[in-house]
């Protein structure tokens, strides 16, 4: 995907998130994030947007901790979220192609990294916001974007030493999107997972389904559409794959 496409997704998903949060109210339970209410979700994603914007707009070349979560609530919190989201969209749209700043996953460029990461961050949390609405809605995620997000999660986040997705004995997990024909092979062991874009060798477990469903399943927002083989590997993923704030 092109950088401009990621920015468009980020813009749309942030607006949808705010709309869902406004409908549900700050005290509504976010069913996809146990222990969270909508106010917690808005504070988290609003803080994340501002943290990302600082790298893009100010060109910081080393890690900087995020600001503390605000104590705002109600309409003030929603306005704060919308302001930060719009500022991030504007910063990404105005940034030079040769932007130099800190990143934490492989990408063609720092600008491509932040546009991609924040598009997916906001999309997953938009789904969280929708789960809190009185009548749960669902805005479709395009298959190509979902495939991109699966790849970021498997070959980005869970290729890092921080990944807790590990097994005592070597095992192979396969991920397949039935509507796009994409396949990933995830080799598990006591070391960080190693993922390739292929279907080589036998798999101990296969997760499959439409790309958008698989994407949200791997982010632990939906059940796995279809599971074949050892269910223990799916349980390992569910219990250890959460990406936490660092």
What is the per-residue pLDDT across 192-219, written as a single tens digit (0 to 9) for each?
999 999 999 999 999 999 999 999 999 9
Q: Residue 202 domain-assigned?
A: yes
Q: Do residues 104 and 169 both lie within one domain?
A: no
Q: Do residues 7 and 115 both lie within one domain?
A: yes
Is 104's pLDDT higher than 80?
Answer: yes
Tokens representing 179? 């509507």
Q: Which of 131, 155, 181 is the last residue of a domain?
A: 131
Q: 73: domain CATH number? A: 1.20.120.450
Band (pLDDT 50/70/90 cuts) for residue 123 is: very high
Band (pLDDT 50/70/90 cuts) for residue 188 is: very high
Q: Do residues 116 and 151 both lie within one domain?
A: no
Tokens representing 88? 């991030």
Q: Do residues 52 and 103 both lie within one domain?
A: yes
Q: Do residues 91 and 174 both lie within one domain?
A: no
Closest C-alpha among 228, 185, 222 to residue 208: 228
What gap in Å lies between CA 29 and CA 36, rounded to an integer? 6
Q: Do residues 175 and 225 both lie within one domain?
A: yes
Burial class (CB in 10 A: 0-12, 13-18, 19+), 179: middle
What gap in Å lies between CA 128 and CA 126, rounded to an integer? 5
Q: Do residues 36 and 107 both lie within one domain?
A: yes
The per-residue pLDDT for 136 is 63
Q: 220: domain CATH number? A: 3.30.1050.10
Q: State which residues form the domain around 113.
A: 3-131
The mean pLDDT value of the chain amounts to 96
Band (pLDDT 50/70/90 cuts) for residue 64 is: very high
What gap in Å lies between CA 181 and CA 179, rounded to an integer? 6
Q: Which of 98, 131, 164 is the last residue of a domain?
A: 131
Q: How many domains does the chain have?
A: 2
Provide CB contacts within 8 A for 37, sequence distance 6+. 26, 27, 28, 29, 30, 132
Number of H helices, E strands in the chain: 7, 5
């Amino acid at each position: 995907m092109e950088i401009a496409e990621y920015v468009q997704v980020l813009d749309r998903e942030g607006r949808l998130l705010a709309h869902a949060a406004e409908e549900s109210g700050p005290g509504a339970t976010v069913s996809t994030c146990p222990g969270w209410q909508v106010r917690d979700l808005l504070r988290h994603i609003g803080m994340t947007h501002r943290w990302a914007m600082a790298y893009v707009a100010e060109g910081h070349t080393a890690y900087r901790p995020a600001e503390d979560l605000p104590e705002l609530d109600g309409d003030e919190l929603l306005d704060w979220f919308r302001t930060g989201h719009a500022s991030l969209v504007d910063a990404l749209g105005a940034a030079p192609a040769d932007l130099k700043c800190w990143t934490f996953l492989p990408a063609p460029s720092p600008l491509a990294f932040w546009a991609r990461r924040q598009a997916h961050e906001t999309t997953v949390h938009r789904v969280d916001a929708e789960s809190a609405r009185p009548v749960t809605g669902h805005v479709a995620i395009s298959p190509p974007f979902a495939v991109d997000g699966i790849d970021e999660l498997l070959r980005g986040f869970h290729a890092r030493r921080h990944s807790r997705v590990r097994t005592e004995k070597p095992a192979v997990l396969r991920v397949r999107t039935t509507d796009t024909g994409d396949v990933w092979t995830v080799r598990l062991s006591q070391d960080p997972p190693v993922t390739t874009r292929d279907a080589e060798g036998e798999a101990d477990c296969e997760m499959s389904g439409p790309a958008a469903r698989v994407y949200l399943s791997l982010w632990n927002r939906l059940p796995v559409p279809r599971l074949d083989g050892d269910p223990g590997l799916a349980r390992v993923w569910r219990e250890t794959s959460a990406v936490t704030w660092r």
